[in-house]
Amino acid sequence: MKVRVFSGVQPTGQLHIGNYLGALKNWAEIQAEYESIFCIVDLHAITLFQDPEELLANIRQTAALFIACGIDAQLSSIIVQSSVPAHTELAWLLNCVTPVGWLNRMTQFKSKAEQQETVGAGLLNYPVLMAADILLYQASIVPVGEDQSQHLELTRDIAQRFNSLYGEHFVMPATKLPTVGARIMGLDDPGQKMSKSAAGTNHAIGLLDEPKVVQKKIARATTDSLPAVDPENMGPGVANLIAIAEACDPSLNKEVFAGLRYGDLKKRVAEAVIARLEPIQQKFRAVTADRCYVDTVLSESRGRVMPIAEDTVRKTKVAMGLYV
Ligand code: AQP
């Protein structure tokens, strides 16, 4: 039996190059080796308010972008979290073994909660749902960007706690980070992770941004006051641009750019990004030309994963002494 891989993306807006370089590129590269399940985590998205019409459109767009980024629907399952009820059922069971103190410590909860007038209970419980997503499929490997490392540690803590209370039950999942591109920073603020929901038109490069838009955004990216690239002394903005270029094209490391003035560096980085995005955008257009294709993939994948998910929930309930 192949080792199982699980990972997900929130349908909270158009995916950006950080999502691609930190996660999706890695998924596409490893999918043939494993039994892979890639999930559109819409129940995570609603921990903050989402416009219903936009959310539904974003779910379909995210699925189409998975395929456009190289996820092969024959090799991998592409599912929508809310279409498999076992995710929420297992989340409740795990909520009951998770100390609230563990959740209060999560840095993503703290930073997101700070920005809200009213903090929903779902935002606090978000990492338990994430643990449920992974443990439901007994996934051994979870390929994510660096920002998810703390949530993955918590997933292992929850699994360990469950196993120590009720006996060996859950597989311990390992975090898999990409070697380059694990944390792409915002173009306008290299101190902040590139994020779908951050304000500002110059923050993120969308996977569907046209070449001219990509050029413009990179041309405006924050750098520093040095005149040219010094590989031994790079500010965070320059280091971020070079990380983006290298993740798009591995031949473009910092030595290649040594001595280049920032204007020229930005042109080279933009070229590398545009070349990476071009086939993705082409595939996206082809995938979305057939209005039914994405829904068919989602429905077939759901059919494949449901028995695994339902089996885990049933066994978890039995382990806890619940009536099944
Ligand atoms: N900037 C990033 N660099 C590298 N990897 C990243 N990921 C996200 N941002 C970066 C990785 O992409 C996957 C999906 O992320 P997500 O959509 O589930 O949640 P997120 O990390 O919270 O993404 P955003 O873009 O910041 O969304 P919002 O603004 O809605 O919260 C994950 O593997 C993540 O590590």
- The total domain count for the chain is 2
pTM of the model as a whole: 0.96
* CB of 195 shorter than 6 A to ligand 1: yes
Residues 232 and 113 in one domain: no
Determine the atom of ligand 1 nearest the C-alpha atom of 7: 33
Residue 206 lies in a domain: no
Residues 121 and 253 in one domain: no
- CATH of residue 241's domain is 1.10.240.10
Query: What pLDDT, in 10s, does the model give residues 48-67?
Result: 999 999 999 999 999 999 99
Q: Which two tokens stand for residue 216?
A: 């413009």
Residues 117 and 65 in one domain: yes
Residues 23 and 127 in one domain: yes
- Based on its alpha-carbon atoms, the radius of gyration of the chain, rounded to whole angstroms, reads 20
Residues 244 and 311 in one domain: no
Domain of 115, in residue numbers: 4-181+291-319
pLDDT at 200: 80
Is 196 part of the annotated catalytic residue set? yes
Counting as low any pLDDT under 70, the low residues of the chain are: none
pLDDT at 156: 98
* CB of 26 shorter than 6 A to ligand 1: no
Residues 252 and 172 in one domain: no
Three-class DSSP labels, 182-243: CCCECCCCCCCECCCCCCCCCCCCECCCCHHHHHHHHHCCCCCCCCECCCCCCCHHHHHHHH
Query: What pLDDT, in 10s, does the model give residues 151-198?
Result: 999 999 999 999 999 999 999 999 999 999 999 999 999 999 999 988
Residues 262 and 158 in one domain: no
Tell me the CA–centroid distance for residue 239 and ligand 1, in Å.
Answer: 19
Say if residue 176 is exposed, middle or buried (CB neighbours under 10 Å; 0-12, 13-18, 19+).
middle
Q: How many CB atoms lie within 10 A of CB 146?
A: 15
- CATH of residue 80's domain is 3.40.50.620
Determine the atom of ligand 1 nearest the C-alpha atom of 48: 30
Residues 173 and 142 in one domain: yes
Q: Which two tokens stand for residue 265?
A: 């560096």
